[in-house]
Structure 1
Amino acid sequence: MHSTLSQSNGLQPLVLDGSQGEGGGQILRTGLALSMVTGRPLRIERIRAGRAKPGLMRQHLACVQAAVQVSGGQAEGAELGSQSLQFTPGAVQAGDYTFRIAGAGSCLLVLQTVLPALMLADGASRVQLAGGTHNPMAPPFDFLQRAYAPLLARLGVGLELALERRGFYPAGGGLLHAQITPATKALAPFDLLERGAPLAAWGEALAPGLARSVAARELEELGRRLGWTQEAGQLRTPGVRQHEGPGNAVMATLEYAQVTEVFCQFGERGLSAETVARKLAEEVRAYERSTAATGPHLADQWMLPLALAVWRTGQEARYTASELTDHTRTNAAVISAGLPVRVTTEPRDDGAILVRVFPQ
């Protein structure tokens, strides 16, 4: 990858306001990722000012510590509750890493913090992650494996994910492994404007440590609302691994020729199994009514790796989104601040939103 420089080499710091837009942890994670890939020091103030408990929590500290480890960097203000952080990256090193989060904080968000740097490194990396794998505040493992990793492969980046044990809120305890193989040639940005032909669709209910009737009721309701059946293999109950749970998640996977989407809803105390399934069905139906390639979460997650490819090649790329969340708009602003690219969005006549990423 490009030589990573320090502040003494004259690079202007990337200065971010953690209260901008949706004011959450994504500003920190994207800022750390951009700092590592560009070599620009990062200064962020008012971290997570938009949250009920502002400042760094354990899962955010884990992201900072992972960035320090991967880049040989330094961090000031990396303490619980801190609302300001100064991060100075060193040279990113490919290698073997282990990152753990106590409790159910999402270890997948830690992976997404260091993935941009490792996918541009000079060799393959293996990362073991422990913590939450199915957390309501983060994309679940299945989303990264089925929806996100295949798009990275089209850029030229290998991301192989293996799940050893699921970790649900509030206990956590999940374990997964990631193999990251950088592109052998320049990243290859591409347009993702259509889904292509539908190939497969199915739902699955995860309910380790809970009564079997919970998953059965969820799948029955999901099948009723979406027209999916057990006989067609569209309603599934994956096996439970040792030491999983308790926890509950219901997921829907929609496979198309150009893209795969994964939607997820989580059970919680006081919420009926039927309500969880209904919310998931509504999410699926909203995506199916749209003509866009990406749903609201994939539209958000896809933006940074695509922007990196645009930056490295100088070639514009576009994709369509069914919806732009505040999270996505904030991510676009941070990316535009940290890279010499612009991200613009405009509604199309068919209701989809066109996202353009192009060099400045």
Structure 2
Amino acid sequence: MICIDGAFGEGGGQILRTSLALSLVTGNPFRIEHIRANRKKPGLRRQHLTAVDAAAHIGCAEVRGNTLDSQTLEFTPNAVNAGNYHFAVGTAGSCTLVLQTVLPALLTAEGRSHLVLEGGTHNPHAPTFEVLDLAFVPLLRRMGAGITAVLERPGFYPAGSGKCAVTIEPTGNLSRFDLLERGKIKRQEATAVVSKLPSHIAERELAVIQRELGWDRRHLHVQEVQNPRGPGNVLTCILESAHMTEVFTGFGERGVSAETVARRTVAEIREYLEADVPIGKHLADQILLPLALAGEGSFRTLAPTQHTVTNIAMIKKFLDLDIAVNQCDAKCWEIRIGNENRS
């Protein structure tokens, strides 16, 4: 049984989710201690329990310690079963994080799977549905995966109540990709969404995008959620280049001006553009696992985050695989996966 220290690296839920995903794919059981030790409220929260339960369900796994606030968990998987699944995260727990836990295993299952996930679709500290649909899934398709995702209802923190549906076709072996250049920017588009909030919030965010980045006003959109379940505001900025699409997100917060939300997003976009890399810092940690399952590949990105460093360490726990991280210049890093450099 593989032993994992949940306090390693970023010390949050990513260690658990990556371990669950790799355990399902490899069939290797694991025990994790000190779950989310570096968080204000350590242990399993509701969305982590949903991820554990989802993984256990599709992998017919034996689980010990899957209770609220538990800091120790044992997970022993069996055969992964394709099928139709419904997972309710509760309140605004992230649907996309639960999906990323079970997606790798379902890609290699023997049949088609259809997932319905309910909870938060637009959460701080988690990929939004647009990141999933416009940035992450297209890279998986490039690797040979058959995935479609549909947003049926947005859900914002803290009310949640969002809903998305994902269909996964069996893929077999994933193919590598090498993404070292971004290419010319082809499209710049921003959408500011408000739910149960005044539309002027969205308009002010887009005004900052236009002023600071010089984006065409025709490609800046205000969207008011119809039949909203709770208040929320999200700013989604899309950069489509010759070789891929990146998505940058800002979230409205109580006590934080619309202008500040937009300026934070502008700063992240500028950092990405100045580095002249294809993969942003958040997408980097998400695409690592699919590339590891392919067995090889490479990409360039910004300075690795704690999530990226943590994911690399967890992948090496389960797979006999080299992952090299090399700095190319002051703002660019290259991550290369595979054992091709072994003597």
TM range (shorter): over 0.9
Is the CA contact 2:89–2:119 (under 8 Å) kept in the aligned structure 1?
yes
1:124 aligns with 2:93: no
Separation in 1 of the partners of 2:157 and 2:174?
Answer: 36
SS of residue matched to 2:18: helix
Tell me the percent identity: 49
1:349 aligns with 2:329: yes
Match of 2:184 in 1: 197
SS of residue matched to 2:142: helix
Separation in 2 of the partners of 1:199 and 1:169?
Answer: 32
1:288 aligns with 2:276: no
Is the CA contact 1:14–1:35 (under 8 Å) kept in the aligned structure 2?
no
1:319 aligns with 2:293: no
- TM-superposed deviation, 1:280: 0.6
User: Which runs of structure 2 are paired with 1:93-132 in the superposition (5 Å)?
Assistant: 93-132=81-120
The residue identity in structure 2 corresponding to 1:264 is T
Match of 1:250 among 235, 254, 260: 235
Separation in 1 of the partners of 2:118 and 2:160?
Answer: 8
Is the CA contact 2:196–2:228 (under 8 Å) kept in the aligned structure 1?
no
Match of 1:222 in 2: 209
SS of residue matched to 2:179: coil
User: Which runs of structure 2 are paired with 1:80-159 in the superposition (5 Å)?
Assistant: 80-159=68-147
The residue identity in structure 2 corresponding to 1:338 is F
Match of 2:173 in 1: 186
How does the TM-score come out when normalised to structure 1? Answer: 0.92
The residue identity in structure 2 corresponding to 1:318 is S
Is the CA contact 2:159–2:229 (under 8 Å) kept in the aligned structure 1?
no
Is the CA contact 1:166–1:241 (under 8 Å) kept in the aligned structure 2?
no
- TM-superposed deviation, 1:245: 3.2
SS of residue matched to 2:271: helix
SS of residue matched to 2:52: helix
The residue identity in structure 1 corresponding to 2:185 is P
Separation in 2 of the partners of 1:37 and 1:94?
Answer: 13
How does the TM-score come out when normalised to structure 2? Answer: 0.97
Match of 1:30 among 4, 8, 18: 18
User: Which runs of structure 2 are paired with 1:17-56 in the superposition (5 Å)?
Assistant: 17-56=5-44
The aligned length equals 340
The residue identity in structure 2 corresponding to 1:344 is A
1:235 aligns with 2:223: no
Is the CA contact 1:127–1:177 (under 8 Å) kept in the aligned structure 2?
yes
Q: Which runs of 4+ in 1 moved over 6 A?
A: none
Match of 1:266 in 2: 251
Match of 2:52 in 1: 64
Is the CA contact 2:190–2:237 (under 8 Å) kept in the aligned structure 1?
yes
- TM-superposed deviation, 1:239: 4.7
Match of 1:175 among 157, 163, 180: 163
- TM-superposed deviation, 1:186: 2.9
Match of 1:7 in 2: none
Is the CA contact 1:165–1:241 (under 8 Å) kept in the aligned structure 2?
no
- TM-superposed deviation, 1:244: 4.0
Separation in 2 of the partners of 1:186 and 1:76?
Answer: 31
SS of residue matched to 1:302: helix
- TM-superposed deviation, 1:355: 0.1
SS of residue matched to 1:43: strand
The residue identity in structure 2 corresponding to 1:178 is V
Match of 1:340 in 2: 320
Q: Name the Cα RMSD after superposition.
A: 1.2
1:165 aligns with 2:150: no
- TM-superposed deviation, 1:229: 2.9
Is the CA contact 1:214–1:273 (under 8 Å) kept in the aligned structure 2?
yes
Match of 2:66 in 1: 78
Separation in 1 of the partners of 2:252 and 2:110?
Answer: 42
CA shift digits 1:109-154 (9 cap, x unpaired): 1100000100111111000000000000201000000000000001
Q: Structure 1 regions of 5+ residues with no counterpart?
A: 1-12, 311-315
SS of residue matched to 1:238: strand
Separation in 2 of the partners of 1:349 and 1:103?
Answer: 43
Residues 195/35 of structure 1: CA separation in 2 closer, same or farther (3 Å cut): same
